[in-house]
Amino acid sequence: MSAGAVTAQPLPSPKAGLGAAMAFAPPASSAAGVLALLHERDSALQAASLHRLLQMIDVWWTEIADYLADIEALYEDESFAERQLAGFIASRVYFHLEEYGEALKFALGSGNWFDITQKSLYVQRMLAECVDTFIRNGQRAFVPQQLAAGRQVSVQLPEIDMEEDQDAAASAALNDAVEGVVRRLLEVCTEHGEGASYALGIAFDARRLDLVESILNSPRAIALPPTQPNSKCQLMLYCLDHVQTLISSKYFRSQIISLLTAEFEKCLPVYASGDAESTQKLSAEEQAEVRGLLFSGLCRCLVEQDASGRVAEILHQLLQESSGAEGLLMASQIAFDILQMENQSFQQALLDHPLLRAPEAPAGDPENSGESGERSTANGDAPAPDAEKKEENKEEKKEETKAEKKDPEEETEAEKKKKLLRSILSGEAQTAFSNQFLQRENHTDLMLLDLYKRSIDTRSSLLHHGVVLSHMLMQAGTSCDVFLRCNLDWMARANNWARFSATASLGVIHKGHVRDSMKLLRTYLPASASSAASSSPYSEGGAFYALGLISANQPSTSVRDYLLEQLQVAGTASEPKQQGCCLGLGLVCMGNAEDSEVYEALKQVLFLDSAVAGEAAALGVGLLLLGSSNAAAVDELLAYAQDTQHEKIRRACGIAVALLMFKKEQEADALIDQLCKDSDALIRYGGMFTIAMAYCATANSGAIRRLLHVSVSDVSDDVRRAAVIALGFVLCGDRQQLAQILKILSGSFNPHVRYGAALALAVACAGTGQKEVVDLLLPLSSDSTDFVRQGAFIGLGFVLQQVPDAACSEAGAVRQQLQRVIADKHEDVMARFGALLASGLIDAGGRNVVASMFSASGVLRQEAAVGFCLAFQLWYWYPLIHMVALSFSPSALIGVTISSAPALKKKEEKAAEKKDEKATDQKGEKPTETSESSDVEKYEPYLEGMSKLRVPAGWKVACVGAKKGQFAYVPSLASLEKKEGKKQTMKAVLSTTAKRNRQQKKKENEKKDAPETAKNEAMDVDEEPAKETEVTKNEADASAMDVDSEEKSEGRSKTEKGEKSEKEGEEENKDGTGKEVELKNPCRVLPQQLQCIQLLPNSRYQPIFPGRKAGFVLLRDTMPSDPDEFLEPRGEAPAAEEKPTEEKEPEPFTPFEWSG
Instruction: Kindly give the residue spans of alpha helices, DSSP state H, lying in 405-556.
Output: 413-425, 428-440, 446-455, 461-474, 482-485, 488-491, 497-509, 517-520, 537-551
Phi and psi (nearest 5°) for 1127?
-85, 135
Rounded Cα distance between 847 and 473, Å, is 10
Of the pLDDT bands very low, low, confident and very high (cuts 50, 70, 90), residue 716 is very high
Q: What percent of the chain has pLDDT over 90?
A: 36
Mean pLDDT throughout 996-1004? 68
Pick from 245-254, 517-526, 781-790, 1005-1014 the range whose average pLDDT is largest. Answer: 781-790
- More confident of the two residues 383 and 714: 714
Of the pLDDT bands very low, low, confident and very high (cuts 50, 70, 90), residue 146 is confident
The rounded Cα 1116 to chain-centroid distance in angstroms is 26
| pLDDT tens digits, 1084-1137 | 988 888 888 888 878 888 888 877 888 899 988 888 778 878 886 554 444 333
Is residue 413 within a helix (H) or strand (E), and if so which, with residue range? Answer: helix 413-425
By C-alpha distance, which of 804, 882, 809, 894 is closest to 843? Answer: 804
Rounded Cα distance between 965 and 1153, Å, is 31
Rounded Cα distance between 195 and 202, Å, is 11
Q: Which of left, alpha, beta for 947 (phi over 0: left; psi -120 to 50: alpha)?
A: alpha
Residue 998: which residues within 8 A CB-CB, separation 6 or more? Answer: none
Rounded Cα distance between 760 and 738, Å, is 9
Mean pLDDT throughout 170-185? 84
Mean pLDDT throughout 639-658? 95
Mean pLDDT throughout 245-265? 90
Burial of 423 (0-12, 13-18, 19+ CB in 10 A): buried
Of the pLDDT bands very low, low, confident and very high (cuts 50, 70, 90), residue 556 is confident
The region of weakest confidence among 127-141, 660-674, 891-905 is: 891-905
| pLDDT tens digits, 756-778 | 999 999 999 999 989 999 999 99
Rounded Cα distance between 1060 and 1046, Å, is 15
Q: Residue 386: what pLDDT?
A: 43
Rounded Cα distance between 832 and 847, Å, is 22
The region of weakest confidence among 81-85, 444-448, 670-674, 996-1000 is: 996-1000
- More confident of the two residues 39 and 276: 39
Pick from 47-61, 492-506, 1015-1029 the range whose average pLDDT is largest. Answer: 492-506
Q: Are 1113 and 937 a contacting pair, CB within 8 Å? A: no
| pLDDT tens digits, 211-240 | 999 999 988 888 888 888 888 888 999 998
Q: Are 882 and 508 a contacting pair, CB within 8 Å? A: yes
Q: What percent of the chain has pLDDT over 70?
A: 74
Phi and psi (nearest 5°) for 898?
-110, 105
Give me the chain's average pLDDT, please.
78
Question: Residue 1023 pairs with which residues in a beta bridge?
Answer: none
Residue 740: which residues within 8 A CB-CB, separation 6 or more? Answer: none
- More confident of the two residues 652 and 155: 652
Secondary structure of 1086-1098 in HEC code, one letter for each residue: CHHHHHHEEECCC
Is residue 191 within a helix (H) or strand (E), and if so which, with residue range? Answer: helix 168-192
The region of weakest confidence among 171-185, 605-619, 909-923 is: 909-923
Indicate whether 851 pLDDT > 70: yes
Rounded Cα distance between 43 and 437, Å, is 84
| pLDDT tens digits, 184-213 | 888 888 887 678 889 999 999 999 999 999
Classify residue 932 by its DSSP letter: H
Torsion of CA 548, 553, 559, 565, to 10 degrees: 70
The region of weakest confidence among 149-158, 341-350, 847-856, 930-939 is: 930-939
Q: Residue 1150: what pLDDT?
A: 41
Rounded Cα distance between 505 and 493, Å, is 16
| pLDDT tens digits, 394-411 | 444 444 444 444 555 556
